[in-house]
Chains A and B, each alone.
Chain A
């Protein structure tokens, strides 16, 4: 069929007649008839694909999805560039999916505000109101100057604010410098409780990964029969493709999901079977009531409890610690022989009863089984008691507990980062403890359809492949983040896992309140100052430092206080090897290749660490402990990981021959990994009773505790914090993307969310400007109220809380599109270590344990 084409000019000439005709007869469509979409104007692809580069996501979340970065020629510009992402179905985590952040990362490679050269400050005065007087220097020149300045300081005067990646670890350990990092506010609570109960670092699967998370387990979302979500469905989870695709498969196959969250998220709308708007910070009460019901009604998984936990182990009634034999093995009371026996050889261990009288080192001792103590610990925690505290109906708690137990062991309570068991409340460590106890009572730990443990694969640490020629120096006694005042976490950090999360919730306090630190290093790509809590305290503290430097992708907020900023490569400009921590059902390694060469004068972190390390402590950076630059450690952990499982002889071969993926799809062996990595190896067990907590005067078993903060007069709104699925902390890769900002504004991400009732009571209308202010009782130093518009929404299901979004609010004038919104961290106080110690032996972030007032501006 031929086309009748009418040009605009001709059309104009006919305009008057056409107009009249169009009103009286059928409109003049089909002037350009389409026989098929094939002939339509939009039938052409807007780019031509030239290659697809395998990559592994990093630093956008911890799913670390594997995918291809599609590179092509943009038709409009004729330029070859990263265009988009294509899924890789063979990756067991992503299974061919990816998220909006992964897409955003592609465009971020070309963000015009990317830092491509090193910057040096010429104005010695620091601050957001100061022009740093940047001058461009080469990265090498900047690094040489940095090294000379660092050499002038003692190791106790320096701190690295960096995650515990292999190179940061080695650098800090070789220099004898303390490291602190913001993962306290992401993974800290989970990491420490999991370590103390099950994963017991270091263990054979504990790996160095590009995105350091320390997750040694994931959840079998697609196979589980019943899931409980204690705030797991935050808005941030709404964007994690690597877990969403599994959750939805489970849902389509009949997984029951019950959630507790004061915020009604889209996942509550669609995916949950039941949702209850729990009172913020009271999830622990529900979990304790569940433990009580399971023990009282004996609906726990007896086989697992007896054989894979310390439930039968005996606790000394006086010392409150585990009784052990000379080999350090736990003991049990044998009901058959009426005597104490090593737990592994006891045929009939008592789970309850006592106190039993036993003789230890010639002395009579009263001992009680752990499960009996647990039952006593929760004896007041009835469903009715929990209902009173949490506002979750008692009949719901009882019914859900019984359903959950009936579905065991194919059940799980997923918890990652900022859910209620994360570092959100002073009692979150107790909730995490309680959740792990519930997992143990249901036998779902290390079980198909429950909690999946990473197994049979490891990416070694630098120390594993290039051991230091001599022991590292001792660390300074005092840490600027007060880690030394928390023996439980300090011991893990110093003796077991140098990569363990630091106390970022107190680093600002330490820098501000003491003069011990003179040099602060930020390894800050994708982070920046806005990721901190109470950044105003850090800002003030940095003004007095001798040297502050940052390794970053952008000139973001932190640079107002930096003397040097070194340009970092984009994550797609680096090669990677990763394990599948978020879905470790099968041993698996995935690799990524650089999409392009880092532009400008970008320098990788490994190169920086090697240069500083070799300049300041060469004996730890050469293979033979010499100062010979020819003998600098190669540091190739990836090749070692690939060789160990027979995946390839080298990374190059792995990428070329295997397209960057190795997977061993053997059936999951239930409970095997607990035996291998748990406490009491070689027959490892889950430890419900944590001796270390007793030693610091905290409860060894989960027990109820109120929140640290309480509502007080106008300061009656509990602060909820989440982030948009398309943001990651304050990462300029996303914040400095104008299209994503349009999306945010259309979804009120830059507003304070408040319930209709609460708004009415305050006389607020949609879009009104408000000031949100933390109760000064809890933030005595440098308060900084937040100003914003309100969004009145039923999604805030309670009148006693408001919601703010994390990850916005940059001030940097070097981010064209990034300067918008508020900064939630301004409202969240840095912690006084003495207060933190009273409430939490791990001393993590407590980022939502805040009450605020809302005032019409």
Chain B
């Protein structure tokens, strides 16, 4: 398991979404957020607060299904996305059992949390954690965070989400209510690599996605080349 993790104790989350806007400012994502593509957002649901954010899985389905290696789980526990090799096939969007990645069609990129790798690298906390007015978010070594989460859950009769889902993640969420009732995805404990090419159907699906992605890429290249040609002609 990776080095770092985030603990979200939703008992202390008020849905203020300071984390959302701090993320926008820290990562200069204004344009993306204006179009609905956000790395983290809190939704006020009927039975609790739902945080839409990358869970940073131990064995990320996005990574497993990405045909171009645009995703990678770092040893630090962070799942990172690199736009350079991305084909835009969106297989990660389909594969993610937590329904996290967004495809920003305008910018041709996947939008998902980086756990503020650039800050963590400098020994700082992710921006959302630093900004949380109630310290509902906590960042620290994975072992410390998970042990703390288990202890708090046991002491306060809370549900833990993220510890085992999809084989375990680096974002651990504590809730009073059943997380599935709140709106968190019903994710098997086992890694959902079934979405990857482990079955004939899965293989066919990924193949189709990959083909579609490559086709799209090819079309886009042609489009760009066409545009460039147009410019050159002026």
A binds B: yes
A interface residues (Cβ-Cβ under 8 A, vs B): 6, 8-9, 11-12, 15, 18-20, 22-25, 27-38, 40-47, 74-76, 83-84, 87, 97-100, 103-104, 106-107, 235, 237-239, 241, 244-245, 247-248, 251, 265-267, 269-271, 725-726, 738-740, 742-743, 746-748, 793-795
Interface residue stretch chosen among B116-124, B159-167, B226-234: B116-124
Whether A238 and B15, one on each chain, are in contact in the complex, defined by CB atoms closer than 8 angstroms, is: yes
A589 to chain B, nearest CB (A): 23
Whether A29 and B14, one on each chain, are in contact in the complex, defined by CB atoms closer than 8 angstroms, is: no
Q: Which A residues lie within 8 Å of B11 (CB)?
A: 269-271
Q: Which B residues lie within 8 Å of A28 (CB)?
A: 67-69
Q: Which A residues lie within 8 Å of B150 (CB)?
A: none
Whether B25 and A103, one on each chain, are in contact in the complex, defined by CB atoms closer than 8 angstroms, is: yes
Give Cα A66 to B145, complex, Å: 30
A selection of 5 A-B contacts at a CB cut-off of 8 Å is A32-B69, A37-B78, A42-B114, A98-B133, A726-B17
Q: Which B residues lie within 8 Å of A245 (CB)?
A: 133-135
B226 to chain A, nearest CB (A): 16
Whether A37 and B74, one on each chain, are in contact in the complex, defined by CB atoms closer than 8 angstroms, is: yes
B41 on the interface (CB 8 Å rule)?
Answer: yes
Total A-B pairs in contact (CB under 8 Å)? 228
Tally of B interface residues using CB under 8 Å: 77
Q: Which B residues lie within 8 Å of A37 (CB)?
A: 74, 76, 78, 80, 117, 120-121
Whether A84 and B22, one on each chain, are in contact in the complex, defined by CB atoms closer than 8 angstroms, is: yes
Whether A41 and B84, one on each chain, are in contact in the complex, defined by CB atoms closer than 8 angstroms, is: yes
Whether A269 and B176, one on each chain, are in contact in the complex, defined by CB atoms closer than 8 angstroms, is: yes
Smallest CB gap from A725: residue in B: B16
In the complex with contacts A22-B206, A76-B28, A742-B85 CB distance below 8 A: no
**Which listed residue, A15, A24, A742, touches B38 by the CB 8 Å rule?**
A742
A419 to chain B, nearest CB (A): 15
In the complex with contacts A27-B197, A34-B72, A106-B25, A40-B117 CB distance below 8 A: yes
Give Cα A124 to B176, complex, Å: 60
Give Cα A38 to B65, complex, Å: 23
Q: A27-B66, A29-B71 are in contact. List 14 more A-B contacts (CB 8 A).
A: A8-B217, A27-B67, A29-B63, A38-B121, A100-B20, A239-B14, A241-B18, A244-B16, A247-B134, A269-B176, A271-B11, A739-B24, A742-B35, A747-B15
Q: Which A residues lie within 8 Å of B142 (CB)?
A: none
Over the window 1-33 of chain B, the binary record of Cβ atoms lying under 8 Å from chain A Cβ atoms (1 yes, 0 no) is 000000000111111111011101111101001
Whether A22 and B210, one on each chain, are in contact in the complex, defined by CB atoms closer than 8 angstroms, is: yes
Q: Which 10 A-B pairs have the closest CB atoms?
A: A241-B133, A31-B69, A238-B14, A270-B11, A739-B33, A34-B72, A23-B203, A23-B207, A84-B25, A738-B34
Give Cα A726 to B119, complex, Å: 25
Give Cα A235 to B75, complex, Å: 40
Smallest CB gap from A97: residue in B: B133
In the complex with contacts A46-B26, A725-B17, A742-B34, A269-B49 CB distance below 8 A: yes
Whether A270 and B10, one on each chain, are in contact in the complex, defined by CB atoms closer than 8 angstroms, is: yes
Whether A47 and B28, one on each chain, are in contact in the complex, defined by CB atoms closer than 8 angstroms, is: yes
Whether B117 and A46, one on each chain, are in contact in the complex, defined by CB atoms closer than 8 angstroms, is: no
In the complex with contacts A28-B67, A244-B134, A266-B207 CB distance below 8 A: no
In the complex with contacts A266-B14, A269-B48, A11-B28 CB distance below 8 A: no
Whether A726 and B66, one on each chain, are in contact in the complex, defined by CB atoms closer than 8 angstroms, is: no
Q: Which A residues lie within 8 Å of B194 (CB)?
A: none
Over the window 123-134 of chain B, the binary record of Cβ atoms lying under 8 Å from chain A Cβ atoms (1 yes, 0 no) is 000000011011
Give chain B interface residues in 180-234, CB to chain A under 8 Å: 196-197, 203-204, 206-207, 210-211, 214, 217-218, 221
Whether A742 and B17, one on each chain, are in contact in the complex, defined by CB atoms closer than 8 angstroms, is: no
Q: Which A residues lie within 8 Å of B74 (CB)?
A: 34, 36-37, 40
Q: Which B residues lie within 8 Å of A74 (CB)?
A: 28
Most buried by B among A9, A11, A41, A271: A41
Whether A36 and B76, one on each chain, are in contact in the complex, defined by CB atoms closer than 8 angstroms, is: yes
In the complex with contacts A46-B27, A106-B25, A22-B207 CB distance below 8 A: yes
B151 to chain A, nearest CB (A): 14
Smallest CB gap from A70: residue in B: B25
Give Cα A793 to B176, complex, Å: 19
Q: Which B residues lie within 8 Å of A265 (CB)?
A: 14
Whether A271 and B12, one on each chain, are in contact in the complex, defined by CB atoms closer than 8 angstroms, is: yes
Give Cα A46 to B44, complex, Å: 30
Q: Which A residues lie within 8 Å of B131 (CB)?
A: 97-98, 103
Whether A20 and B207, one on each chain, are in contact in the complex, defined by CB atoms closer than 8 angstroms, is: yes
Over the window 65-98 of chain B, the binary record of Cβ atoms lying under 8 Å from chain A Cβ atoms (1 yes, 0 no) is 1111111101110101111110100000000000
Q: Which A residues lie within 8 Å of B18 (CB)?
A: 98-100, 103, 239, 241
B173 on the interface (CB 8 Å rule)?
Answer: no
B147 on the interface (CB 8 Å rule)?
Answer: no
Smallest CB gap from B135: residue in A: A248
Give Cα A18 to B177, complex, Å: 45
Smallest CB gap from A236: residue in B: B16
Q: Which A residues lie within 8 Å of B134 (CB)?
A: 244-245, 247-248
Whether B12 and A270, one on each chain, are in contact in the complex, defined by CB atoms closer than 8 angstroms, is: yes
Q: Which A residues lie within 8 Å of B203 (CB)?
A: 23-24
Give Cα A740 to B214, complex, Å: 35
Give Cα A98 to B13, complex, Å: 14
B108 to chain A, nearest CB (A): 12
B103 on the interface (CB 8 Å rule)?
Answer: no
B52 to chain A, nearest CB (A): 9
**Which listed residue, A11, A267, A742, touches B33 by the CB 8 Å rule?**
A742
Q: Which A residues lie within 8 Å of B63 (CB)?
A: 29
Smallest CB gap from B182: residue in A: A269
B219 to chain A, nearest CB (A): 11
Whether B133 and A244, one on each chain, are in contact in the complex, defined by CB atoms closer than 8 angstroms, is: yes
Give chain B interface residues in 37-62, CB to chain A under 8 Å: 38, 41, 43-44, 46-49
Q: Which A residues lie within 8 Å of B49 (CB)?
A: 266, 269-270
Give Cα A596 to B167, complex, Å: 50
Whether B17 and A248, one on each chain, are in contact in the complex, defined by CB atoms closer than 8 angstroms, is: no
Give Cα A386 to B149, complex, Å: 41
In the complex with contacts A37-B117, A98-B133, A742-B36 CB distance below 8 A: yes
B172 on the interface (CB 8 Å rule)?
Answer: no
Q: Which B residues lie within 8 Å of A99 (CB)?
A: 16, 18, 133
